[in-house]
Structure formats: structure tokens, C-alpha cells
Amino acid sequence: MSAKVREVIPLQRWHCSWPQLFTTRRPFNHRSRETENRPFLEYMVRPSEGTDEDDSDEDDSNEDELEDKDDDIESFNDQSDVRRFMVGMLGEDDELESRDQVDLVANFCDKSKAETHARETTKHVALLDERCMENTITDKRGSYRPYLGPLTCEKLRDRLSRKRFRVDSDENLCADETEDKQPDAARRIVFITNLDSFAIEALATTVALTQAPALQNLFYKHLANSTSIGVTIKSHGFQTFSLEFNIPYYVLRKSKEPCGDIRKQSNGDPLRTLRELPPVSFLSMTTNSKSTSVNEHHYLYEATTSIVVTGSDHYIWAAYAFVDTYFDSRESADGYHEWKGQRRGRADPLAAGQINADDPIWDPREYFLKVIEIRTDLISMEWSQIINMLEAEHQQSRTNLFDTLLSNEPKVLARGKEGVKNFMEWNSKMTMLLRILGKKLSDTVAAWDTFRRSGIYYFDDDSVTLVEAAFERLKDHLRKLRNLERELGMDNPDGLNVIFSLESMEATNSQQITARQLGNLTVITIIFFPLALAANLFSTTGVLPFAPNLTTFIFVFLILAILILTTLVVLSNWRSWLHQVVECNQRAISFYKTRFVGEDAPIIPPKGPKPAMCLKRFRKPPTHEDLETGIKKD
């Protein structure tokens, strides 16, 4: 990667340009080597040497201050190594990124260490690669220390406790003659799975002063499951750089039993949570639906990948990676070790085996970009698997619901309301789950957007484009999650409408059943009521005018049955009969009007002619004058 110097950076980007100091080999004298070889805990404040007798005349106030300081130092030294490491130098607690990060990391280690079984300490959880740039002209691998394979926390601690650099008057970083006949570990790669208290203690007790701030921050963010991508350049004292990548996410795995995280927080809860994906199989109500296996379930496991690359220049730096793999063994120290021999060279675990460790990337920025590109692609694949599964489950739930509503099977219709209620319950669970997933993914996208506004200008390699493309895929996944959440929200009112429709269908079916039952009861009444009435009449003496015997009983029974049937027929048809009578009358009246009176004549003839005849009978004959007047008018 070419260096980005201030002379070629626009003014508005000077604040985030890569210092030229890191691109050249910095002076590395005897004192610098001692500093890199000495653990950070050795620089902690210790009780001071005894004071001279000449100081006995100091005033009481100074003595009280010294006593208080000694008490603080003694209390500090009594703390655990991890707590002392997280606190750092006395008086530097104001520089902590979060006030609770000391307690969070220290309490986790105390809780986890007390509850960890002995067999957990024998697991292979780490891989270590140490080399320097000596002899890269003849051997691209450089000068490297022997590869030890997968390491336990104890072996990792023992390995890191060795001197990282030789100490002599020669300023050559990678001389052939060293104290232990091994080259310097100027480039150190540490990969740890399922970070626990033993791994934290192994690093805290061996890391050098220059790398302590980066690991303090990495421990806290990994355990707190926080999201961040950024570049930190120390502005005071001995300048160092830190490139960090902390991304929480979820993975989807199918198994009979969940693989919970055995690591515990200080309150006893698992460090990483798991959630069972709400099953959609119980929504199927049709008899021909495919039944899913009841022995396997889908689980969502919380995971975090934390990576930091820190150093003093492009020649002396270290990379640390913490990856959660408690849910399966796809990415384990033993798994990466087995790749050796199957492929050319060794697998770089930070890059998920996609980089040959024997063909190392020496530039820390280029290495960081390549690693986060690969890791982001892996995280994107996990999110893609989750989203595809959720979309398939949503589509299956709708299909099952429609099959229930469109089915003609009585059993399915009888359980239709229950199926819709199950659908709404599943819908609510999925909506809540989508909100949790969306929040996690949106934090990742927001962290990248923040990095693009500032930290990305520390890099000038084409790998930035590839990393940005990987995060664009994460943004697409976030949009799909939002759309799916919106569709589930729209399904809730539809579910209520379906419930109301099913209740109406149930009421209609109930009425039909009641009507059929009443019809059956009516038939039974028609058959047995005449028989009961006849028996009642024959049981009363002195009422019947004839002698009671079987013949008369049958005769009376038939008469009563005919009367009851006639009554039922009349009661059932009297409205239609009355309607027919009215129609016949109307047709007769219409026929009368057309036949005898005329088409436009009223039904009842007017009564006017009779008074007119009476008036005509008593009218006087007209006079001669009246006749003449009438002729003139005409």
C-alpha cells in the first residue's frame, strides 16, 4: 500500500491523513526493545523505595499525603491482574472510553474463572504467527518463528511471555544470532476463539506497554457486544496507531438441541444469547401438508468478531482477533490447523483461511482492509442465510393460512380460527425478532457510515472499494429486513378480518346445524304427537261416544294425524295461498275492465248520471229568446 502523506492530501482531509511517521522504520534502540519485551503490568505503580532519614523533618501534611498514596498503591497491587491491566496507570482512568469497562471485564473474568471446568482449560483456542521482514528478498515468508499449531490458553501465555525482540547493541531488528536462536516477532498475529477469562489473562499479563490501550478497548467492546469501526492515532507521548473492527451479528444454525454459550456474565446470564426461530409448521391445518421434523429446530446465535491491528510503524505491529464460534466448529483453531497440507501454505485465521499465512501482507493497513473485507463478506453471508429463511417462513405462513381458508375439509374449517390465532401469534413473535435483528444490523451499517465520513481517508488502497461493496450488501439486507417487518405489520389487520370472517362462518354453520336439528325434532313431533294425543283420549273414561278398542284407536290416531298435518300445511302455506288469491282477484278485475268497461275505465263506474237525470226531469223548457241567443252564440 502506498503511503499517504500530507503533501498530497487536501486541506479538509489533513485531520485524517496517515502520518508519514508510520511509513518509515522508526528508531528502535536498546530501550525500545526492553519496552516491547516487558509486560505492561510491570509498568504499574509499585510502592516506592524507603525514604532517606533526612526527610524525617517533613511536615505532617506531606506525611499524610504519602501515607494515602501508599495505601492506594497497596490497594492497587492487591487487585487481580486483569483489573490492574484494565485500570492501567494510576491517574489514567479519566482516559477510559467507558466508566464501566473496568468492572465489566474484571467481573467477567472473576465470574468465568470461578465457574470454568478444568476440561475447558485444555481446549485449543488460539493460533499464533510470529515473523519479521528479514530475508524477504530470498524468501517471501520472511524470518519466522516455529509454528506451534493450536494452543491452549496456558501455552499461549507461555509463548507470549518470551521476549519479542532480542536485546543487544545491534539495531538490526532481525539478526540471526539471538538469545533463543529465533528471529524477532515484529509482525505478530494472534487468533482466539470464544474469548474467556483465561485468554484475557494470558494477554493481559504478557502484552507490552504500547499495545495495552488497544487491547483494553478490544476486551471491553468484545464483551459488551458493541459495534465500532475506526482508526485511533495516539496524539501524545510515543505515537502508535490502532485499527479496530468490532461487529456483532447473528448466525442461523439447525440442530436438535441448542448450543448455548457456557461463558457467563457477572449476573450469571450467558455472555451470548440464543433465540429459537418461531416455527411455522404448526400453522399448517390441511391434512395433506408436509410435516417438518420435530427433532430439529432453527436457532439464532449471537456472535461478535473483534479485530484490532496496532503498532508503532509498518514494520512493528500486531493483530489480535476474537471470534465467537461456540455454536459450531466451522471456525476453530484445530480446523484452521488441519488446513495445513491440504492447501499450499498455512491458513491465516484472521482472514478465515482466505489468505496464505506463508505469503504474508506486511503493510498493516492493507492487511486490516483485506481482513475486514473477508470478515464482512462472511457476516453478510450469515445475514443472507437468516433473511432467506425468514422470507421463506413468511411465505410458508401465508400459504398455510390461505390453504386453511380455501379448504373445504370440515376438520380444517373447524380449526381455521385456531390457525389464524396461531398465525397472529407467530406474526407478533416474528415482528419482535425482526426488530431485534434490524437494530443489530442497523448499528453495523451506522458504524460503517461513520467510518466512511472520517476513518476511510486513512486508507488509499483499492481494497476500500471492496470493503464498501461488502457493506453495501449489508445495507441491502437491512432494507429486506425492514420490508419484511412492514409486511408482517400489514398482515396483523388481515388476520383480524379473517378471524371475524371465520366467526361469521361459524355462526352460519351453527344456525344451519340448529335448523337441521329443529327439522328432525319437528318430524319426530309430527309422528309421535298424534299417537300421544290418541292415547291420552283413550285413557279418559266416559269421554268417547264409542267403545275403546284397537280399531277405534287406529281410527282416532289417523284422524288426529290428518288434522295435525293439515294444520301444519295451512300454517306453512297460508301466506303463499293468500298471495295467490290476491293475484287471482287482480287478474279477474283486470279482465273485467278490459272486457266490459274499456281499457281506461275505472273499476267502479261513476255515480254522476243519476243526479243528472233528476235535474233533467225538473228542468224548464227553453224560451224563444233563449233559443235565439244560443243560435247566435253558435
Reported as a pLDDT band with limits 50, 70 and 90, residue 149 is very high
Higher per-residue pLDDT: 493 or 378: 378
Q: What range does the domain containing 436 cover?
A: 6-45+67-498
Do 549 and 440 belong to one domain? Answer: no
Reported as a pLDDT band with limits 50, 70 and 90, residue 288 is very low
For residue 551, the model assigns a pLDDT of 78
Rounded Cα–Cα distance for residues 312 and 42 (Å)? 20
Do 341 and 476 belong to one domain? Answer: yes
- Asked if residue 390 is part of any domain, the answer here is yes
- Answer yes or no: is pLDDT of 600 > 60: no
Reported as a pLDDT band with limits 50, 70 and 90, residue 601 is low
Do 159 and 299 belong to one domain? Answer: yes
For residue 178, the model assigns a pLDDT of 45
Q: Nearest Cα to 82, choosing from 197, 214, 226, 162? A: 197
Rounded Cα–Cα distance for residues 445 and 376 (Å)? 11
Reported as a pLDDT band with limits 50, 70 and 90, residue 503 is low
Do 559 and 486 belong to one domain? Answer: no
Do 442 and 565 belong to one domain? Answer: no
- Asked if residue 466 is part of any domain, the answer here is yes
End-of-domain residue from the set 437, 469, 498? 498
Do 200 and 319 belong to one domain? Answer: yes
| Count of domains observed in the chain | 2
| Terminal C-alpha separation, the chain | 130
Do 493 and 584 belong to one domain? Answer: no
- Answer yes or no: is pLDDT of 286 > 50: no
Reported as a pLDDT band with limits 50, 70 and 90, residue 228 is very high
- Among 7-16, 177-186, 344-353, 611-620, where is mean pLDDT lowest? 7-16
Do 412 and 467 belong to one domain? Answer: yes
Of 121-125, 398-402, 495-499, the range with the highest mean pLDDT is 121-125
Of 35-44, 230-239, 270-279, 340-349, the range with the highest mean pLDDT is 270-279
Q: How would you write 575-586 as a 3-class SS string?
A: HHHHHHHHHHHH
For residue 6, the model assigns a pLDDT of 36
Q: Nearest Cα to 263, choosing from 252, 274, 279, 253? A: 274
Do 281 and 357 belong to one domain? Answer: yes
- Among 124-138, 165-179, 367-381, 406-420, where is mean pLDDT lowest? 165-179
Number of H helices, E strands in the chain: 15, 8
- Answer yes or no: is pLDDT of 560 > 70: yes
Reported as a pLDDT band with limits 50, 70 and 90, residue 579 is confident
- As a whole number, mean pLDDT of residues 243-263 equals 94
- Asked if residue 621 is part of any domain, the answer here is no
- Asked if residue 58 is part of any domain, the answer here is no
For residue 53, the model assigns a pLDDT of 41
- Asked if residue 535 is part of any domain, the answer here is no
- As a whole number, mean pLDDT of residues 225-246 equals 91
Do 455 and 557 belong to one domain? Answer: no
End-of-domain residue from the set 465, 498, 531? 498
Rounded Cα–Cα distance for residues 370 and 373 (Å)? 5
- Asked if residue 147 is part of any domain, the answer here is yes
- Asked if residue 631 is part of any domain, the answer here is no
- Asked if residue 356 is part of any domain, the answer here is yes
- 216 touches 86 (CB < 8 A): yes
- As a whole number, mean pLDDT of residues 220-248 equals 92
Taking 3-state DSSP, the helix, strand and coil percentages for the chain, each rounded to the nearest 5, stand at: 55, 10, 35
Rounded Cα–Cα distance for residues 336 and 29 (Å)? 37
Q: How many CB atoms lie within 10 A of CB 346?
A: 22
- Among 17-26, 237-246, 551-560, where is mean pLDDT lowest? 551-560
Cβ burial, residue 211 (10 Å; 0-12/13-18/19+): buried
Cα dihedral sign, 173-178-179-182: positive
Higher per-residue pLDDT: 400 or 118: 400
For residue 145, the model assigns a pLDDT of 92
- As a whole number, mean pLDDT of residues 371-385 equals 96
Do 460 and 586 belong to one domain? Answer: no
- Answer yes or no: is pLDDT of 589 > 70: yes
Do 449 and 571 belong to one domain? Answer: no
Q: How would you write 269-309 as a 3-class SS string?
A: CECCCEEECCCCHHHCCCCCCCCCCCCCEEEEEEEEEEEEE
For residue 141, the model assigns a pLDDT of 86
Cβ burial, residue 374 (10 Å; 0-12/13-18/19+): buried
High-pLDDT (> 70) share of the chain, %: 71
